[in-house]
Amino acid sequence: MNQRILVFVKQVPDTQNISGDAMTPEGTVNRAALPAIFNPEDLNALELALQLKERYGAEVIVATMGMPAAAEVLRQSLYRGADRAVLITDRALAGADTLATSYTLSCCVKALGKIDLVLCGRQAIDGDTAQVGPQIAEKLKYPQLCYVEEVRELSADSITVRRAIEGGYEVLSSPLPALLTVVDANEPRPMNAKRIMKYKRAATKSELAKKFPETADAEAEKLLAQNLLIDERNAASIGAEPDRIGFPGSPTKVKQVMSVVLTAGEVKQIAPTEEGISLLIHELISDHTLG
């Protein structure tokens, strides 16, 4: 069996290890204080793909949409065992909400030819929406299997998974192609030292243009010959319509970003009497907590 598995990954700010103020005074995310990392559940998705590759034989392609610097998570995927990497980067993609993002990624799936299985992490730690995976499936009209913990069986035309549900799990089968979102149920493998030594040279064309302004094309040829050129695409090359991507394609508008700190206020004592309770209820009704 030689199936093609596509894993979508995302470079996110590390919200666990904040080294300074997470927000700027203007209310935007302070990227300088938040190192960019591989979204944790995307690592679980990649691990699942690599396990399927070991069990059944498959080609694992990793793709991300992001800034040129997001090539780093692609290299980290190659260090762990991915076969190929695709970066979708374009200024026109900036400001995308989950609708525009899932549209863009669905275009990517179509542009890559025959794909049997699309894997995504359940959600990214920066937005925490868990919407992108399911929306990609909708757009591609693929069956979607969400909150997947493990793959029980994979055949040429179907997949059986175990997925987490509230209070337990269920086992589902689906025809292929299908899309899975994966939860934190496996232990992502470490990066492999030997693969690092090989793939640390892997680069996108825009990285080469920056590093070798004069000879970027020749360098790209060299990398391509060694299978080290990261496939870089823009909106046009994956066939995405301009009005459905980036800002224009995003109905979600951010009105304000606030850092909400929840603290206990002053303490008020209510007498345990009919009168005391009545006063409390009236107070709660008047400030719209009740009613």
Partner 1 sequence: MANFFNDNADLKFTLENLELAPICRMLEDGFKFAETYDTAPRDVEDAIDNYRRSLEVVGGVAADNIDPRSATVDKEGARFADGKVTYHPFTVQNLEDLTKAGVMGVMLPHQYGGLNFPVTIYTMMTEMVSRADASLQNIFGLQDIAETINLFGNDEQKAKYLPGFAAGKFDGAMDLTEPDFGSDLQSVRLRAWQDENGQWYLNGMKRFITNGCAQVHLVLARSEEGTTDGRGLSMFICEKCPQLVVRRIEDKMGIHGVATCELQFNDVPAQLCGKRRLGLIRYVMSLMNGARVAISAQAVGIAEAAFRAARKYAAEREQFKQSIDQFPAIYSMLSSMKVKLTAARALLYETTRIVDLRSTYSHLCEVGAPTDEDRAAQKYYNKLAALLTPMCKALATESANQIAYDAIQIHGGTGFMRDFNAERYYRDARITNIYEGTTQLQVVAAIGGVMQRDLDRRIEELAALELPAELQAFRDKVMAMHAKQLTAVQFVADRKDSAYHDLVARALVEMETMIFVSLLLLRDAAKDASRRAIAERYVIDSEYEFAMRYMRVVSGDTALMQNRCEIMDY
Nearer to partner 1, 190 or 265 (CB): 190
Q: Judged by CB under 8 A, does residue 152 bind partner 1?
A: no
Tokens of 103: 């549209």
Q: Judged by CB under 8 A, does residue 192 bind partner 1?
A: yes
Q: Judged by CB under 8 A, does residue 114 bind partner 1?
A: no
* Shortest distance (Å) from residue 89 CB to partner 1: 25
Would you give the binding string for partner 1 spanning residues 45-84, x where CB under 8 A is met? ----------------------------------------
Residue from 92, 111, 172, 191 binding partner 1 (CB under 8 A) = 191
The count of residues in the chain is 291
Nearer to partner 1, 28 or 226 (CB): 226
Residue from 162, 198, 222, 244 binding partner 1 (CB under 8 A) = 198
Angle between helices 71-80 and 40-56 (to 10 degrees): 40
Q: Judged by CB under 8 A, does residue 187 bind partner 1?
A: yes
Alpha-carbon span 119 to 74, nearest angstrom: 15
At residue 273, what are phi and psi to the nearest 5 degrees? -125, 165
Residue from 193, 225, 262, 264 binding partner 1 (CB under 8 A) = 193
In the beta sheet, which residues pair with residue 88? Answer: 65, 233
Q: Judged by CB under 8 A, does residue 200 bind partner 1?
A: yes
- Choose one: 95-103, 111-119, 171-179, 183-191; the region binding partner 1 (CB under 8 A): 183-191
Return the SS3 of 88: strand
In the beta sheet, which residues pair with residue 58? Answer: 3
* Other beta carbons within 10 Å of 113: 7
Q: Judged by CB under 8 A, does residue 278 bind partner 1?
A: no
Q: Judged by CB under 8 A, does residue 33 bind partner 1?
A: no
In the beta sheet, which residues pair with residue 13? Answer: 36
Nearer to partner 1, 150 or 280 (CB): 150
Chain-centre distance for alpha carbon 34: 17
Q: Which of 153, 188, 170 is nearest to 50 (CA)?
A: 188
Q: Judged by CB under 8 A, does residue 37 bind partner 1?
A: yes
Q: Judged by CB under 8 A, does residue 197 bind partner 1?
A: yes
List, in order, residues 6 or more apart from 243 with CB less than 8 Å away: 249
Q: Judged by CB under 8 A, does residue 225 bind partner 1?
A: no
Sheet of 84-88: strands edge to edge? 168-175, 158-165, 144-154, 178-182, 117-121, 3-8, 58-65, 84-88, 231-233
